[in-house]
Amino acid sequence: MIAGNYFESHHARTSIEDKLIDLVISLEALFSPAREGEFRFRISLRGALLLGNDADSRRRVFQLMKRAYDARSSLVHGDESPFETGRFSEQDLAALASEVRVAILRLLTLRMRGYRNRDDALAWIDDAAFSAERHRELLDESDFEKYLAEQDGPR
């Protein structure tokens, strides 16, 4: 719910810096480890595994999320705006928003399929890093469109 709230609130923001902060908070709510170090790496890796269909798309998502986390950190710790320095663009922000939206849908789909425990879902995402079969199962089970089609049934 926190992830969805911050994702929705980013639409109402007028400042691109505030939009970035809301989207990264949404990512943290979705993928952050409970008490583990190196949030940036874990959040980026989990996002890449949930959102990437192949190695190239996982690498792209991983890099985008790491850059977003760094850009947000730069903002909240008083450095210059990453948008002004060119380290993060409005196009990057739009791409991040799209990935966060899909991540919310995928995790919501898992919840609707009965995976109620967040830690179990995150453990599945972590396990997908080590098994191509588990990764395919994760992508299949979290596919929102497939879930909707299954609910619709035969016509």
Q: Which amino acid is at 50?
A: L
The one-letter code for the residue type at 108 is: L
Instruction: Give the pLDDT confidence of 64-74 residue by residue, as tens digits.
Output: 999 998 898 88
Q: pLDDT band for position 35 (50/70/90)? A: low
Of 71-80, 84-93, 133-142, the one with minimum mean pLDDT is 71-80
Enter the pTM of the model.
Answer: 0.81
- What are the residue boundaries of the structural domains of the chain, listed by start? 2-152
Percent of the chain residues past pLDDT 90, beyond the cut: 68
Q: Which residue has the higher pLDDT, 39 or 8?
A: 8
Q: Is 34 exposed, middle or buried (0-12, 13-18, 19+ CB in 10 A)?
A: exposed
